[in-house]
A and B are shown apart, each in its own frame.
Chain A
Amino acid sequence: MSEQSHILVVDDEKVVLDAVQTITRAEGFDVTASMDASHALSLLEEHRYSAIVCDILMPQMDGFDFLRELGQRWIQTPVVMTTGYSTMENAVKSLYFGAIDFVSKPFTADEMLSAIRRAVRYGALIRTAGATGGLPAFIPCPSRYRRLGYASWLNQESDGIAKIGVTDLMIRTVEPIEGVELSEAGLEVIQGSACAHLKTGDDLRHGVLSPISGQIVEVNPVFDTDFSILLKDPYFESWFYRVIPSELEYEMCYLTACSSDRL
């Protein structure tokens, strides 16, 4: 992990700021804490940060306004959103407005650290790709697909069933992957909550947030034998589930069309 990584933590609760500072410092990150979003914005004008951890419910400027401000100022620092009011809607909205991850409170040290590490790596990937807008990806997301933030994708099939999977970028922020944990057919997935986990070498489990809600009708059996295919072909062969969407129309508005990535 890069020794120079500098994290900005924004939360109106002192205990949360302290806790995040403690665990990130222990992992060798530099940390700056801020108790409100407008102060954080002024800090961002002077310094460069590798990643931002931001609360949603704050008194003056809330987390969504903060994300919008970042977008308007063309600040591409990856943001991990967090909130005590952890509804799926908050998670999905965070990703839609440009956050790269959502961690609900209370979190364990590992949960927060894995999110921060992904954010830092995501920032590094953006810089290497040199992209200025849209979604930088080594394997592009097919244009008819839709994605939830940078985490997962959805492809509607003609029979009303949708295939869901994980994006190339998500895989690259966590690799090397040592295993894929999938759910079972018949169970439900919910938009914005983890529908699968990617296991990595550092004993961390990275949740893949589902792009839609619905019932799983089929689980891709390919990962039983070989999950390296995930890296080679994340958008076709290595889908996770075939799902009957339950509230597709309502949930579609929080998904970004992959065609918009080709600017």
Chain B
Amino acid sequence: MAVKLRNKLGIRLILMVGVTTVVSIGALSYLTVQFLRKSLEAEVERHANQLSETVKYGTRYDMLLNQPDRIHELINNMASQPSISRIRVLNKSGEVMYSSKEGDVGQMVDKAAEACYACHAANQPLERLSIEERTRIFKPDKGDSRILGIINPIYNERTCYEASCHEHVQAQTVLGVLDVTMSLQEVDFEIQKMELNITIFAVVAIVLISVVIGWFVRRWVDRPVSNLLNATQEVASGNLSFTIPIEQRDELGQLARSFNNMTSKLAEARMQLFQSDKMASLGRLAAGVAHEINNPLTGVLTYSSYLLKRCSHQPEMQNDLKVIVRETLRSREIVKSLLDFARQSVPKRNPADIHDIINRSLAVVENQLNVNHVQVVKNFNGALPPVHVDSNQMQQVMINLIVNACDAMAAKSGTITISTDLKSLSPQGMMVVKKAECPKRHSLLDNEVRFGGRSSIKLKIRGRGESGFLYLDALYGSHECRSTLHDPLEKPDDVACPQCGTSLIDRAARCPECGSNVFSVTIPGRGLFQVCAKPGCHWQKWDAAEEEGVREYAEIRVSDTGSGIPKDQVDHIFEPFFTTKGQKGTGLGLAVIWGIVDNHSGKISVETNPGKGTTFSIQLPVGKN
């Protein structure tokens, strides 16, 4: 989808700016030249007028005395200046009386031509004219320089018609005309020079502006826009990992940044869709299997339980039947847990001895351990009280952990150490928020962003004119959080519910550690969960959890001497379908374990040392709830 050159945004911008520059600078230059030409001509005109007045008054006395030689002398002297081309005096009938050029005297001037026309056009001569009307500019021949002529009428005065020569009568108004012509050669040369200069300036300015604008458009518009275009095409073709290099801090830079942000979100969403699709097919598979197996199991269970009831008088047979019933019931639980996997069902808890569960689990995988030459070291705390757990589920957890440990040591024989202990732990770092709401009862828990498998509390944050989301680890006392804003806010202006926007800032409270704002989320039935709004401040308070105080937990640690888990994978191991075993694993084991432990209000965590081994530790609350 290449854009035609003339349709390119950059080219269009350059063209637009270029045309505007050409038009405006061109107009400016033209007007400047016109103005300068007019002022120069006006200057010459004024000069010529002054000169003609000077000649008129200079010859006045000689005219009265009728001394033509002196007048000739004066006119010739005047006209000898280089810029003056000719000075003539004409009488009323158009005959040249005096001239600075010898041959002109006595010649008749055509009244329809030259300067006479201004007055004589209407046959009835005008007597007074403005200076513009008296001036004319003409070219005697092609190739000659321009000439400016000015006529100056000589008016009749008392001294003229009373003079002793009696040449003029009183009735005449105008006696004749003084005509001065000046060459415009110098002026024309100046104007030409100026025109050339201005044209050169205009061309240079236009070229320079175009180049500069062009360069900036290319740098700031063309390149980022074509990067964006390229990126959208990449994304459209399915490459969601494509990112635009960000070079600018302007709007296009921000656009690129939000584009990158959008594609990463899109990639995440696609991943989730993919996963939920896998989950859905697993669900369908489980449902089909469950239905098919449950019918034959019904036969076994109904008959065996019926027989068990009937043969109460035969203890031997009863014992055997009890085994059948018990094992069928166990099969029922297994099928049910397969069905419940997606729903993460509620555990059926009874007081149980953790050590029994571990021993039973070890018995199940004994064969596998022997084949792989794996040593098992038990380090049990004998004082561990019974723990309220679903024995079946907990056995599943232990079997999974032991098999994982065994797989981690596949290449070499190693040792699995299983230790148990009784620990007193404070609620911070143990209690997990399972439900969180805004004052309008919208749920704030988010399952997309997880911390160590736990859900997060999703909040909307605003500040510095930006807004984004903040994901907070749901574990009380954990300070982990993730923000969608690029730079962490120094201090958010507001923390709100992402659904309804209701502010969660508690106006009455202040963080006792840093004095910042505090926001609180409602934990239904368990009071408020308060958190300091300032990033970096770790103050949190959950009164309901604190009230329960320090509690006892049974801790189970399963350590192996295997290959460990690479650092970049540790964060993902509790996610469903994440596997390091390639085709061998389903990626469900640890996700299921996590779900079971979480349903028991317990906590599972992992420490790993690549190359040396991995330790999974599980803490389960001792006593009820």
Q: Which residues of A contact B (CB under 8 A)?
A: 13, 15-16, 18-20, 22-23, 26, 57, 83-88, 104-110, 112, 160-161, 184-190, 193, 215, 217, 244, 246
Contact = CB atoms under 8 A, between A and B. Distances in A.
Contact of A112 (B296, B302, B345): B302
B336 interface: yes
Nearest to B388: A184
A84 B524 contact: no
Interface stretch (B172-180, B303-311, B609-617): B303-311
B310 A26 contact: yes
B299 A15 contact: yes
Q: Which 6 A-B pairs have the closest CB atoms?
A: A84-B294, A186-B625, A19-B302, A15-B299, A106-B297, A108-B305
Nearest to A108: B305
Interface in B319-371: 325, 328-329, 332, 336, 339, 343, 345-346, 349
B433 to A, nearest CB: 13
A86 B306 CA distance: 22
A16 B441 CA distance: 47
A190 B345 CA distance: 9
A26 B306 contact: yes
Contact of B349 (A16, A20, A187): A187
30 contacts: A13-B298, A15-B295, A16-B298, A16-B299, A19-B299, A19-B303, A23-B302, A57-B291, A84-B294, A84-B298, A85-B287, A87-B339, A88-B343, A105-B294, A105-B297, A106-B298, A107-B301, A107-B302, A109-B302, A109-B309, A110-B305, A110-B309, A161-B525, A185-B625, A186-B624, A215-B434, A215-B435, A217-B525, A244-B525, A246-B435
B221 interface: no
Contacts of B305: 108-110
B310 A106 contact: no
Contacts of A109: 302, 305-306, 309
Interface residues of B, number: 37
Contacts of B435: 215, 244, 246
B302 A108 contact: yes
B345 to A, nearest CB: 7
Nearest to A56: B291
A56 to B, nearest CB: 10
B376 interface: no
Given A85-B287, A184-B624, A106 B300 contact: yes
A88 B344 CA distance: 13
A188 B347 CA distance: 9
B290 interface: yes
B292 interface: yes
Given A105-B295, A108-B301, 15 more contacts: A13-B298, A15-B295, A19-B302, A26-B306, A84-B290, A85-B287, A85-B339, A86-B294, A106-B298, A107-B301, A112-B302, A161-B525, A188-B346, A215-B434, A215-B435
Contacts of A186: 601, 624-625
A193 B343 CA distance: 13
A22, A110, A187, most chain B CB atoms within 10 A:
A187
Interface string B424-463: 0000000000110000010000000000000000000000
B299 A108 contact: no
Contacts of B303: 19, 22
Contacts of A187: 346, 349, 625
A1 to B, nearest CB: 15
A105 B306 contact: no
B292 A20 contact: no
B328 A106 contact: yes
B625 A106 contact: no
Nearest to A87: B339
Nearest to B301: A106
Contacts of A86: 290, 294, 336, 339
Contacts of B293: 84
A254 B332 CA distance: 27
